[in-house]
Amino acid sequence: MNFAIIGATGNVGRKTLEVLEKSKLKVNKLFLIASNKSVGKKIRFKRKNITVQNIKEYDFSKADISFFAAGVKIAKKWVPKAAKKTIVIDNSKFFRMREDVPLIVPEANAHHLRKNKNIISNPNCSTIQLVLALKGIHDKYSIKRIVVSTYQAVSGAGKSAMDELTVQTKNFLSGKKIKSKNFTKQIAFNLIPHIDAFDLDGYTKEELKMEFETKKILGKKINLTSTCVRVPVNTSHSESINVEFVKRYNLKRIKDILKKTKGCKVIDQHKNGRYITPLEAEGDYKTYISRIRRDRTNQKAINLWVVSDNLLKGAALNSVQIAETLVKNKLN
């Protein structure tokens, strides 16, 4: 099969390239597309150098499946055109809430994939790790309400945001003046309770994305409220999650289900250090679950801590897994 990566030189594009190289997909030809400043660059893939092309001059019919990792503006302009000639797996938020576009986390809702659907949307990075961890226990006990606080790495805002964290950290430790370009406030040695634009009711669009996307993937009856926070960590998002079920539950059964959840790994001992932090999850395909415990104020609720590499399962890995699912089920 032939594949294309649009936005090949960005954070998610580069990770998609890495994951695709390690995947079981048979790649006959790979086309790499990026902005004008990257055109002509040579990128190594499976011992071959591939020249980066300009999107305006590229013929989308050359690829069977195309990964879009280039943001909303590019997706809005080019995905509809591309989808006439190739299957598009899009990482941007632009198509996620369209009823006719599947929003997919393969371990949770691969059954939503349909033949002849040429646009498939990759969910928000924070949504992916949330629904991945909760799908199995939702099937068993039916989730009524989720309260989640996210602690999101700067890589979710792009390479320039990562660079800003590095520069601000150096300047802070050197006693130099700190400037903020990518964030509303200083990010080094700080937390910012604000990701994406504010809506009229005080929620941010990031928080609303989590609510609407979770409902689309797991079910409309689930109520979800969130607070999304940017933290001075390069990679891996963390989530503190309170889950209320429709009925009372068995905690041992909950833990057994989580241990068997595909794509997840439970590290949960009530000892110093027997839990997962963002640094340990970086570069790992697994989504980690720790701090599983009863909510002492609600007999139908539990608390847990979920950590995942936002550039892998939160973006590139999930996209490639969608492609693998399409090929496996012959939906391409």
Is 302 found in the same domain as 163?
A: yes
Is 296 found in the same domain as 193?
A: yes
Which listed residue (138, 228, 237, 264) is catalytic? 237
Active site residue 125: yes
Please write the tens of the pLDDT for every residue from 230-265: 999 999 999 999 999 999 999 999 999 999 999 999
| CATH number of the domain enclosing 286 | 3.30.360.10
Which pLDDT does position 145 carry in this prediction? 98
Please write the tens of the pLDDT for every residue from 268-312: 988 898 999 999 999 999 999 999 999 999 999 999 999 999 999
Which listed residue (111, 125, 138, 270) is catalytic? 125
Mean pLDDT of 70-88: 95
CA separation for the pair 278, 236 (Å, rounded):
5
Is 166 found in the same domain as 53?
A: no
293 three-state secondary structure: strand
Domain that holds residue 119: 2-123+315-328
Is 162 found in the same domain as 177?
A: yes
Number of domains in the chain: 2
- Contacts of 203 by beta carbon, 8 Å cutoff, 6+ apart: none
Strand partners, 5: 32, 67
pLDDT mean across residues, the chain: 95
Is 133 found in the same domain as 88?
A: no
121 pLDDT exceeds 80?
yes
Please write the tens of the pLDDT for every residue from 178-234: 999 999 999 999 999 999 999 999 999 999 999 999 999 999 999 999 999 999 999
Is 252 found in the same domain as 136?
A: yes
Is 97 found in the same domain as 39?
A: yes
Which pLDDT does position 313 carry in this prediction? 97
- How sure is the predictor about 332, in pLDDT bands with cuts at 50, 70 and 90? low
| CATH number of the domain enclosing 34 | 3.40.50.720
Is 149 found in the same domain as 106?
A: no
Query: pTM above the 0.85 mark?
Result: yes
Active site residue 138: no
